[in-house]
């Protein structure tokens, strides 16, 4: 069970790991994000349990993630951090024999409800995986992929939005002359950004 006690700047959590009878303390570090526009993204997790077949991996997780704050969930390998995060966009549903119990509210709406539109949810809630996996296409096409898939934008707007995204990721200066190169040609850190 994740239990929280709030101090001035940190929230500390303790819960069982995937290993039976193992215990650890995980720390969620939160800091203010200044000068951002009003944000949505308030997440409340209530009594979250997760199962891989008959194996229970998460036990009654409870957590609140407040908009305009940075929250890090920290713990040892195998403790359930990634499993917990995979629930937020229901990516676990792509695999057999995985199920969840509990509630995850995103801006007051239970994203685990059966009527949740998964496409709309996944437009709002993404995941950056530990190992980057760019599509087998150019840097430009990797960045433009989501725009082309979900929106009709003209060529000039597409180029402007790709440039803006690369600048926001602090990549523009590094890749502006490599936009036609394969995404796999970038360094691991560049691919991750």
- pLDDT 10s digits, 103-134: 999 999 999 999 999 988 888 888 777 788 88
Q: Which CATH architecture has domain 5-124?
A: 3-Layer(aba) Sandwich (3.40)
Which pLDDT band, with edges at 50, 70 and 90, does 51 fall under?
very high
CB atoms closer than 10 angstroms to residue 127: 11
pLDDT at residue 83 tops 80: yes
pLDDT at residue 31 tops 80: no
pLDDT of the residue at 39: 57
Which pLDDT band, with edges at 50, 70 and 90, does 78 fall under?
confident
Q: What value does the mean pLDDT take over residues 63-70? A: 88
- Range of 5-9, 26-30, 47-51, 143-147 with top mean pLDDT: 47-51
Taking the domains of the chain in order of start, what are their residue ranges?
A: 5-124, 139-192
**CA distances in angstroms from 152 to 2, 39, 140, 157, listed in the order given:** 43, 25, 17, 10
Which of 154 and 124 is assigned the larger pLDDT? 154
């Amino acid at each position: 069970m994740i239990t929280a006690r709030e101090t001035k700047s940190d929230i500390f959590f303790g819960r069982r790991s995937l290993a039976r009878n193992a215990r650890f303390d995980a720390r969620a570090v939160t800091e203010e994000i200044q000068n951002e526009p009003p944000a949505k993204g308030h997440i409340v997790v209530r009594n979250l349990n997760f199962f891989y077949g008959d194996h229970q991996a998460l036990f009654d997780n409870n957590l609140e993630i407040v908009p305009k704050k940075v929250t890090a969930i920290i713990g040892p390998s195998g403790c359930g951090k990634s499993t917990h995060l995979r629930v937020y966009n229901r990516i676990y549903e792509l695999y057999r024999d995985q199920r969840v119990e509990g509630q995850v509210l995103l801006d007051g709406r239970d994203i685990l409800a059966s009527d949740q539109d998964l496409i709309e949810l996944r437009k709002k809630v993404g995941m950056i995986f530990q190992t980057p996996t760019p599509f087998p296409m150019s840097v430009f096409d990797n960045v433009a992929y989501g725009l082309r898939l979900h929106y009709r934008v003209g060529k000039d707007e597409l180029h402007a939005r790709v440039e803006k995204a690369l600048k926001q990721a602090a990549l523009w200066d590094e890749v502006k002359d490599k936009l036609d190169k394969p995404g796999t040609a970038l360094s691991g850190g560049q691919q991750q950004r």
